[in-house]
């Protein structure tokens, strides 16, 4: 007796949900195309099909995964733009962590990656560690003379890169940051070099009289 | 049945109104939970009937490490950051506090090895592979800019900013919006008056020893805005320092940045003293003063006084002043 009841319940709610999906369809798609930059928007027919298969619990996995693999097979093309590349005179990468061994391994990884990508490393050194200590009461109530002491050790590693272009810096930093281990934080300080902009080369008062009051 | 369906529709309606932009996964979730409850109830009934009819427990068999060839592609075993799997790492690793009179515990079932972040996915071979794939996206540094001096000559403005990466409830870090702009005043097109006015406008932001003007902007919430504000400040400072206002003609000796000896009390005093001493010959006052000024000792005295006033009173400047005074007064 339980089985036919369940089935009928499914049908009713299923019909209502389909109605809900058709209402939601275009709006939902528009917003999700805005959020996701790559071309992974699905037409309403595919979404309906996906939901149908899930509810019926028949061949659900095959259709769902089939659409996913089809979308990821677009080839990547590297395009070069005319925009001038930013030049960084110095990029300082400071990594902080609680475990020195983890930072050792990370330093090996970062230095090897820099060497492979052809980036000049000026300095790789270890700033002294910071220890933050606190003394707390051991007991919840009274017993002031009995305390417990904790300390938090922060170890540092600093990698300085010299003369690196904007594209290379972006690639290297993204690679480094994606492989940052758990419990390690990073601070990157970039010093970019720029030419003097055109409006600072000559004072404007030479051409225009001083009585003029320009906006800038 | 109708009641249940009605309740479900209500929840559906609520999710529709609140999450207009979301996909249908929420709808699926509200429906799927109901479904899963029903199916799990069915399973429990089946399991409870007979514990005898359970599937027999299989042996785990040989761990994967035994079947690994020596020249395998390790990048396919650990392609990305994954926790440590003792049956997939063919190394006899031991970790942990040693048992009394023994060694650290072995890797099988060792939680310490699982807790610590591992770099098994970043072996040198894997790093080389990744870098090979990333090489096409990198650009070369221009070979003409080898030294820092050349960089400063062609690109005098330096913009410094920081990025922060850490785990926490939010990805953002408010310190990332701060922008430092550093420029050497010698690389800007300024004449004497403009330079002095710029120094007065800028105040503490200028460092005399290194001749670097540094502007720090953090008033805007975004880094792009702060950068644009810094460039705007630089432009305004530059143009304002070239402007000559009417009230600048009222600049007094107290406003001057450096001490100038001409028309100063010191000059008047030394000339009066020398005249009273009657060192020079008789003649018109103005001519006599000019003659006195042209003398070598008076020039030395002038240099020593200027040095004292500008640099302050240190050993060398005091000695120089002493020598100059002795020469001028013939002591």
The three-state secondary structure class of B76 is helix
Per the prediction, chain A carries an average pLDDT of: 71
Rounded-to-integer distance, Cα B173 and Cα B165, Å: 8
Let me know if residue B232 belongs to a domain.
yes
The whole-angstrom separation of Cα B320 and Cα A104 is 58
End residue of a domain, out of B210, B245, B280: B245
Report pLDDT digits (tens) over B155-208: 888 999 999 988 889 989 999 999 999 998 888 888 888 888 898 889 899 988
Closest by alpha carbon to B235, among A80, A171, A8, A203? A203
Per CB-CB distance under 8 Å, the chain B contacts of A27 are: 20-21
Whether B225 and B279 share a structural domain: no
Residue B235 sits in the same domain as residue B178: yes
Chain B residue whose CA is closest to A188: B163
Closest residue, chain B, to A47 (C-alpha)? B24
Looking at residue B281, what is its pLDDT?
Answer: 57
Which residues in chain A have their CB less than 8 angstroms from residue B141's CB? 87, 163-165, 168
Is the Cβ pair B244, A163 closer than 8 Å?
no
How do A87-97 and B206-207 pair as beta strands?
unpaired
A75 pLDDT band, cuts 50/70/90, is low
- Are the Cβ atoms of A187 and B81 closer than 8 angstroms? no
Choose among B138, B160, B163: nearest Cβ to A171.
B138
CB contact under 8 A, B5 and A12: yes
Alpha helices in B89-166 (DSSP H): 111-115, 124-134, 148-154
Structure tokens at B202: 């800028």
Tokens at A21, concatenated: 């999906």
Q: Dig out the tokens for A37 from the structure.
A: 């930059």
With contact defined as beta carbons under 8 Å apart, do A89 and A163 qualify?
Answer: yes
Q: Does one domain contain both B152 and B133? A: no
Give which of A175, A86, A160 is closest to B141, Cα–Cα: A86
Q: Are residues B152 and B233 in the same domain?
A: yes
> Which string of b and e fits A25-59 if b means at least 16 CB within 10 Å?
beebbeeeeeeeeeeeebeeeebbebbebbbeeee
Tell me the pLDDT band of A206, cut-offs 50, 70 and 90: low
Q: What is the pLDDT of residue A30?
A: 39
Nearest CB partner across the interface for A9, out of B4, B130, B244:
B4
CB contact under 8 A, A183 and B32: no
Q: Is the same domain home to B202 and B234?
A: yes
Q: A189–B161: do the CB atoms touch at under 8 Å?
A: yes
Residues of B in contact with A210 (CB under 8 A): 243-244
- Please report, rounded to a whole number, the percentage of residues in chain A having pLDDT higher than 70: 59
Say if residue B200 is in the same domain as residue B119: no
> Cβ contact (<8 Å) for A191 and B231?
no
Q: How far is B202 from chain A (nearest CA, A)?
A: 17
DSSP state of B82: -
Of B81, B130, B154, the CB nearest to A175: B130
Residues B226 and B269 in one domain: no
As a whole number of angstroms, the distance between CA B185 and CA B199 comes to 10
B12 found inside a domain: no
pLDDT digits (tens, 9 = 90+) for A114-167: 999 999 998 999 999 999 999 999 999 999 999 999 999 999 999 999 999 999
- Separation between Cα atoms, residue A17 and residue A29, nearest integer Å: 17
**What band does A2 get if pLDDT is binned at 50, 70 and 90?**
very low
B92-136 per-position pLDDT tens digit: 989 999 999 999 999 988 999 999 998 999 999 999 999 999 999
pLDDT of amino acid B53: 64
Q: A160 in helix, strand or coil?
A: strand
Report DSSP letters for B44-69, one per residue: HHHHHH-STTPPPPPP--S-GGGG--
* Residues of chain B with confidence (pLDDT) below 50: 1-45, 47
Question: Smallest CA–CA separation between A172 and chain B, in Å?
Answer: 9
The separation between the first and the last C-alpha atoms of chain A, rounded to the nearest angstrom, is 83
Query: Looking at the structure, do residues B155 and B238 belong to the same domain, yes or no?
Result: yes
Query: Is B59 within the bounds of a domain?
Result: no
Is there a domain that residue B23 lies in? no
Same domain, residue pair B294 and B209? no
Q: How many other CB atoms are there within 10 angstroms of residue B68's CB atom? A: 14
**Domain boundary pick from B201, B216, B245:** B245
Assign A216 a pLDDT band (cuts: 50, 70, 90).
very low
- CA dist., res. A164 & res. A120, Å (int): 8
Domain count, chain B: 3
ipTM of the complex, rounded to two decimals: 0.70
Interface contact flag, B81 A175, Cβ < 8 Å = no
Give the torsion sign (CA, A50, A54, A56, A62). positive
Q: Mention every residue, 6+ apart, whose C-beta is less than 8 A from residue B140.
A: A165
pLDDT at A15 over 90: no
The pLDDT score that the predictor gives to residue B284 is 65
Identify whether the C-beta of residue B198 lies closer than 8 Å to the C-beta of residue B190: yes
| pLDDT tens for each residue of A37-66 | 333 344 444 444 444 444 444 444 444 444
**Domain extent for B275:** 265-329
Q: In the structure, what pLDDT confidence band is assigned to residue A202 with cuts at 50, 70 and 90?
A: confident
SS3 B272: helix
**pLDDT tens for residues A186-196?**
888 888 777 77
Chain A residue whose CA is closest to B160: A191
In this complex, do A200 and B188 lie within 8 Å of one another by their Cβ atoms? Answer: yes
| Domain CATH code at residue B227 | 3.30.160.20
Q: Residue A111: which of A100, A98, A123 has the closest Cα?
A: A123
Q: Which two tokens stand for residue A20?
A: 């809900």
Asked whether residue B25 is assigned to any structural domain, the reply reads no
CB contact (8 A) between residue A195 and residue B155: yes
> Considering only CB atoms, which chain B residues are within 8 Å of A117?
131, 134-135, 138
Q: Which of A33, A202, A203, A211 to mutate to test the interface with B (most CBs of B within 10 A)?
A: A203
Is B27 among the domain residues?
no
Mutate one of A43, A115, A159, A171 to test the B interface: name it (highest B CB count within 10 A). A171
Residue B182: left (phi > 0), alpha (psi -120 to 50), or beta? Answer: beta
A151 CB-near residues (< 8 Å, 6+ apart) = A131, A132, A133, A134
How far is Cα B243 from Cα B260, in angstroms, rounded to an integer? 24
Chain B: closest CA distance from residue A46 (Å): 12
Residue B6: per-residue pLDDT: 43
Question: Most B CBs within 10 Å: which of A46, A83, A97, A163, as the mutation test of the B interface?
Answer: A163
Nearest to B31 among A17, A24, A171 (CB): A17
The answer on B130 and B194 residing in a single domain is no
The answer to whether residue A33 scores a pLDDT higher than 80 is no
CB contact under 8 A, A87 and B141: yes
DSSP for A59-122, written as a single string: SHHHHHHHHHHHHTTPPP-----SSPPPEEEEEEEEEEES-HHHHHHHHHHHHHHHHHHTPEEE
User: How far, CA to CA in Å, does A172 sit from each of A97, A104, A121, A192, B126?
Assistant: 20, 19, 12, 16, 15
- A100-109: long-range contacts at Cβ-Cβ below 8 A with a sequence spacing of 24 or more? A100/A129, A100/A155, A101/B116, A102/A181, A102/A183, A102/A184, A102/B116, A102/B117, A103/A155, A103/A156, A103/A157, A103/A184, A105/B119, A106/A157, A106/A180, A106/A181, A106/A184, A106/B119, A107/A157, A107/A159, A109/A179, A109/B119, A109/B122, A109/B127
Please give the DSSP secondary-structure letter assigned to residue B92: -
Position A183 scores a pLDDT of 83
Residue B236 sits in the same domain as residue B292: no
Same domain, B109 and B187: no
- Report the residue from A5, A109, A216 with minimal CB separation from B236: A216
Per-residue exposure over B100-124, b if at least 16 CB sit within 10 Å of its own CB, e if not: eeeeebebeebeebeebbbbbbbee
Q: Is A166 exposed, middle or buried (0-12, 13-18, 19+ CB in 10 A)?
A: middle
Mutation site for A-interface testing, chosen from B141, B143, B152, B212 by largest number of A Cβ within 10 Å: B141
């Amino acid at each position: 007796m339980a089985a036919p009841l369940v089935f009928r319940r499914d049908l009713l709610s299923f019909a209502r949900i389909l109605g809900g999906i058709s209402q939601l369809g275009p709006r939902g798609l528009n917003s999700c195309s805005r959020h996701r930059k790559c071309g992974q928007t699905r037409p309403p027919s595919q979404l309906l099909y996906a939901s149908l298969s899930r509810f019926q619990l028949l061949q659900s996995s095959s259709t769902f995964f089939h659409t996913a693999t089809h979308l990821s097979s677009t080839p990547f093309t590297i395009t070069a733009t005319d925009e001038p590349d930013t030049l960084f005179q110095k990029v300082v990468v400071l990594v902080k962590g609680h475990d020195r061994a983890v930072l050792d391994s990370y330093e090996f990884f970062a230095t090897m990656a820099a060497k492979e990508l052809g980036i000049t490393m000026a300095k790789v050194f270890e700033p002294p560690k910071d220890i933050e200590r606190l003394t707390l009461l051991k007991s919840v109530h009274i017993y002031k003379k009995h305390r417990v002491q904790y300390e938090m050790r922060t170890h540092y590693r600093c990698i300085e890169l010299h003369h690196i272009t904007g594209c290379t810096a972006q690639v290297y930093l993204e690679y480094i940051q994606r492989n940052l281990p758990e419990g390690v934080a990073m601070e990157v300080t970039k010093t970019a070099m720029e030419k003097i902009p055109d409006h600072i080369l000559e004072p404007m008062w030479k051409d225009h009289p001083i009585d003029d009051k320009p906006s800038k | 049945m109708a009641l249940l369906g009605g309740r479900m529709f209500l929840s559906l309606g609520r999710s529709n109104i609140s999450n207009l932009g979301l996909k249908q996964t929420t709808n699926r979730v509200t429906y799927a939970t109901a479904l899963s409850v029903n199916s799990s109830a069915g399973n429990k009934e089946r399991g409870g009937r007979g514990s005898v009819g359970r599937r027999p427990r299989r042996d785990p068999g040989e761990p994967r490490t035994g079947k690994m060839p020596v020249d395998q592609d390790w990048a396919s075993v650990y392609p990305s950051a994954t926790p440590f799997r003792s049956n997939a790492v063919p190394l006899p690793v031991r970790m942990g506090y040693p048992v009394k009179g023994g060694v650290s515990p072995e890797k099988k079932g060792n939680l310490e090895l699982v807790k610590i972040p591992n770099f098994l996915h970043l072996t040198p071979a894997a790093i080389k592979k990744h870098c090979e794939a990333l090489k096409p996206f990198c650009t070369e540094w221009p070979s003409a800019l080898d030294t820092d001096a050349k960089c400063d000559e062609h690109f005098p403005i330096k913009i410094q900013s920081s990025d922060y990466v850490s785990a926490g409830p939010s990805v953002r870090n408010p310190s990332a919006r701060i922008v430092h702009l550093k420029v050497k005043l010698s690389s800007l097109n300024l004449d004497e008056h403009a330079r002095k006015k710029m120094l007065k406008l800028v105040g503490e932001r200028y460092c005399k020893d290194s001749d670097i003007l540094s502007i720090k902007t953090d008033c805007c919430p975004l880094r792009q805005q702060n950068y644009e504000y810094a460039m705007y400040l630089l432009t305004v400072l530059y143009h304002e320092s070239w402007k000559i206002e009417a009230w600048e003609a009222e600049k007094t000796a107290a406003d001057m940045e450096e001490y100038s000896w001409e028309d100063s009390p010191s000059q008047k005093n030394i000339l009066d003293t020398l005249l009273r001493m009657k060192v020079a010959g008789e003649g018109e006052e103005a001519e006599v003063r000019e003659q006195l000024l042209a003398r070598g000792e008076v020039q030395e005295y002038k240099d020593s006084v200027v040095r004292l006033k500008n640099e302050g009173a240190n050993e060398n400047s005091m000695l120089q002043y002493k020598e100059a005074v002795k020469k001028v007064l013939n002591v």
